[in-house]
Every structure is written in structure tokens, then in C-alpha cells.
């Protein structure tokens, strides 16, 4: 596959990313393993992982059971994700362009279209989820505003994340590089506070026998394998910028750890706090666990959806271009952000619409598993890792 760019200046280090879905030239592939780690760590520091971790406790599992499921499930999910990241590094092209290897140019339109729709839906969903957290943070600081404040916060978050995604890979790389060390530092403090201030209960399971194993299986599918699989469609879009001379092991380790560390960490922290009987709502979990530290912790968690959505918007734009739409990538990024904003507006108007749409989004993820099986088998088995 040779899709070398006709413009050698499509990507300058730190500058505007004018690239589309063409193959990234070697001279512009400057991303280090640490860059890849920060990108994927940022994308996975999301409040939903608190909820998914607490879900095990709500289902009646003990904290030990939940911890076991979190670790094993995320090893499997992050392992699959790391393999897909190798595909982008080996070829220098986006994940949906790589789909053409297995399905053909026009045959790839259907999974690519689903990826576009799913991406814009997740942008709205991720932003909507964090709004209550943001409003709670402002309330803690003595700033009230009700529904109007929620709209202002939603608009500010949307403008920020669409702007970063429209600027391109470099903006995403630097945003994650300079914000994530601080975020992980606060997570360390969060963890220490939780274990010293919360009455964590390690063995409080209400399930036995087949019911216990069934619950563990369901939870593993949701927070381990399922979470990792949901990111496969984005993998190659970022590792295509990784330095060409990096070994497969370095790329795999960086991306594997970028997903595994924050996902397992936050899920376990959510489960530990929920074991004390404070429910599964992220705002309740944080306020119950951190008291005076609730404000900085809540504000840190607002970072999660932004870090996630800039990755999603950028990839949604690339997928749109893979449908043979001839527009600059930054314009498509703005359009994807606009569609996501419209969906978010309906979320804010109706909680019933939001929950129904969320169920629809979960159903859409089902297509990823067969797509991933075909794509991975074709690339690694039939083509032996060569595109």
C-alpha cells in the first residue's frame, strides 16, 4: 500500500496538521512511545470507568471478585488494542483505510460509516456524562447557575475539544503530554485518600455459585474486553505517527499500558469506594470519598471526556474522509463536532432521549467484534503483518 503524501509539509512538529488519510511520510513520523502512552492514557481517564468499576459491587460481587475481573478483562482488551495499534505503525495509514485491505475500497464503506456515526454519538455522550460532575464542582466552589450553567459548561467543553481535534494530531499530542502527568498525580492522591478515609469492604459478596460466575462474566465483557474492543477502530489513526524505527514491542507496550493503567486504576478505585455503600454515581462517589478535595478531583475528571473526545472527533473526521469525501480534514472535524453538539442539545432537553440514545450507541458497538476478527485475521495471519 503506497499512499505517500503529495505535500511534504503536511505535518510540522508542533504545527497545524493538514494531513488527511494519506500515508504519513517517515520524516513526519516523530511520535515517541511516551507520546503514545499519554494519548491513550488521556483517552481512558473517563468517569464512565468509575461507574463500570462500581457496577461489580452493585451486581453483588465482592471487591476481590471485581478486582480480578478488572485485571483479567483489561489485560485481554488492552492486548487486542495493542495489536491493532501495530497495524497503524507498520503501514502509516489510518484504521479505516486499513479496513480496505480486508473489505475492498467500497466494501469498507459500511464499517467506516458506522465508525463515523458512532464517533459523533460518543462525543455527545461523553460530554453529557461529565456535565453533572462539572456543575457539582462549581457548586462546591460556591458558584451556582442551574440549567443555564450546564449549557455554558457544555458549550465551553465542546468549543475546546473541537478546536483541539480540528488542529490535528500535534495539538492532541501536546494536550495529553502536558496535562496527563498532572492528572495521574492527582489520581495518586485520590487513591491514597480513598484507602485512608473510606471503610472499604473487600469481601462483601451477596452472590454464590453460578450466579457469581455469571456476574463476573458479564462484568468482564463490559469493563475489560468490551471497553478495549470499543477503541480498536481508532488505534491506527495515532500510531501511524509513531517513529518508523520503533520496535513492535515498544509500540505495543506503550499503547497497551496507555489503555490498561488508567482503565483498571479508575475502575478499581470506583469499585473500592462503592464497596463502602455510597452508590455508583460519580459525583456521589467523589464527594463521599474526598470531601474538601472534591473540587480539584471533579475538575480533573472533567479533563477525561475532553481527552477522550479529541481522539474521537479526530478519528471520526478521518473516517469521513475514508468515505471518499473530498474536504480538508479540519473542516470535517468541525462538522463532526457540530453534529455532536446537536445530539448533546437533545440530551440536555430530554433525559429519556439521552438514555435511549446511549442504548442505541451500545448496540452499535456490536459490529466492532466481527469487523475486528476479520481485520486482524487478514492482516496478521493472511498478510503476515504487511499491508
Q: 143-153 pLDDT, tens per residue?
A: 777 778 888 88
The segments of the chain whose pLDDT lies below 50 read: 1-11
In a domain, 264, yes or no: yes
In a domain, 358, yes or no: yes
In a domain, 323, yes or no: yes
In a domain, 88, yes or no: yes
In a domain, 83, yes or no: yes
| pLDDT per residue as tens digits for the range 37-56 | 999 999 998 777 777 777 77
User: Angle at Cα 67 formed by Cα 62 and Cα 72, nearest 5°?
Assistant: 130
What residues have CB less than 8 Å from 201, skipping those under 6 apart?
Answer: 63, 275, 276
pLDDT of residue 259: 94
| Closest of 160, 91, 115 to residue 310, by C-alpha | 160
* Separation of alpha carbons 40 and 130, rounded Å: 19
Total domains present in the chain: 1
Cell 500500500, located at residue: 1
pLDDT of residue 286: 62
| Closest of 339, 48, 49 to residue 165, by C-alpha | 339
Domain enclosing residue 310, as ranges:
27-373
In a domain, 18, yes or no: no
What residues have CB less than 8 Å from 378, skipping those under 6 apart?
Answer: 101, 102
The domain spanning residue 200 has which CATH number?
1.10.4160.10
In a domain, 300, yes or no: yes
pLDDT of residue 147: 76
In a domain, 215, yes or no: yes
Amino acid at each position: 500500500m503506497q499512499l505517500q503524501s503529495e505535500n511534504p509539509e503536511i505535518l510540522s512538529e508542533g504545527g497545524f496538521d493538514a494531513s488527511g488519510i494519506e500515508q504519513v511520510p517517515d520524516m513526519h513520523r516523530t511520535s515517541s512511545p511516551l507520546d503514545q502512552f499519554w494519548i491513550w492514557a488521556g483517552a481512558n481517564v473517563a468517569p464512565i470507568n468509575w461507574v463500570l468499576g462500581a457496577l461489580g459491587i452493585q451486581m453483588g460481587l465482592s471487591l476481590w471478585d471485581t478486582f480480578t475481573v478488572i485485571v483479567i478483562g483489561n489485560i485481554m482488551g488492552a492486548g487486542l488494542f495493542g495489536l491493532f495499534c501495530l497495524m497503524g505503525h507498520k503501514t502509516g495509514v489510518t484504521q479505516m483505510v486499513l479496513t480496505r485491505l480486508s473489505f475492498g475500497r467500497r466494501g469498507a464503506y459500511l464499517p467506516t460509516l458506522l465508525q463515523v456515526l458512532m464517533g459523533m454519538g460518543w462525543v455527545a455522550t461523553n460530554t453529557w456524562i461529565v456535565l453533572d460532575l462539572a456543575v457539582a464542582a462549581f457548586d462546591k466552589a460556591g458558584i451556582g447557575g442551574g440549567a443555564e450553567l450546564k449549557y455554558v459548561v457544555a458549550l465551553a467543553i465542546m468549543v475546546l475539544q473541537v478546536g483541539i481535534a480540528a488542529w490535528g494530531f500535534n495539538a492532541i499530542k501536546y494536550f495529553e503530554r502536558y496535562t496527563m502527568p498532572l492528572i495521574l498525580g492527582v489520581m495518586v492522591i485520590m487513591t491514597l485518600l480513598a484507602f485512608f478515609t473510606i471503610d472499604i469492604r473487600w469481601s462483601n459478596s451477596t452472590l454464590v455459585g453460578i450466579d457469581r460466575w455469571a456476574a463476573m462474566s458479564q462484568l468482564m465483557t463490559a469493563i475489560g474486553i468490551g471497553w478495549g474492543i470499543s477503541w480498536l477502530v481508532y488505534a491506527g489513526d495515532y500510531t501511524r505517527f509513531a517513529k518508523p524505527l520503533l520496535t513492535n514491542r515498544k509500540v505495543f507496550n506503550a499503547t497497551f499500558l496507555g489503555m490498561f493503567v488508567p482503565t483498571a486504576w479508575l475502575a478499581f478505585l470506583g469499585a473500592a469506594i462503592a464497596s463502602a455503600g455510597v452508590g455508583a454515581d460519580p459525583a456521589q462517589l467523589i464527594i463521599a470519598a474526598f470531601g474538601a478535595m472534591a473540587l480539584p478531583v471533579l475538575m480533573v475528571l472533567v479533563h477525561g471526556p475532553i481527552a477522550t473526545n479529541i481522539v474521537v472527533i479526530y478519528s471520526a473526521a478521518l473516517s469521513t474522509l475514508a468515505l471518499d469525501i473530498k474536504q480538508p480534514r479540519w473542516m470535517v472535524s468541525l462538522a463532526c463536532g457540530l453534529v455532536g453538539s446537536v445530539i448533546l442539545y437533545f440530551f440536555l432537553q430530554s433525559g429519556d432521549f439521552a438514555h435511549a440514545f446511549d442504548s442505541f450507541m451500545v448496540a452499535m458497538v456490536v459490529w466492532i467484534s466481527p469487523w475486528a476478527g476479520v481485520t486482524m485475521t487478514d492482516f496478521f495471519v493472511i498478510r503476515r503483518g504487511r499491508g
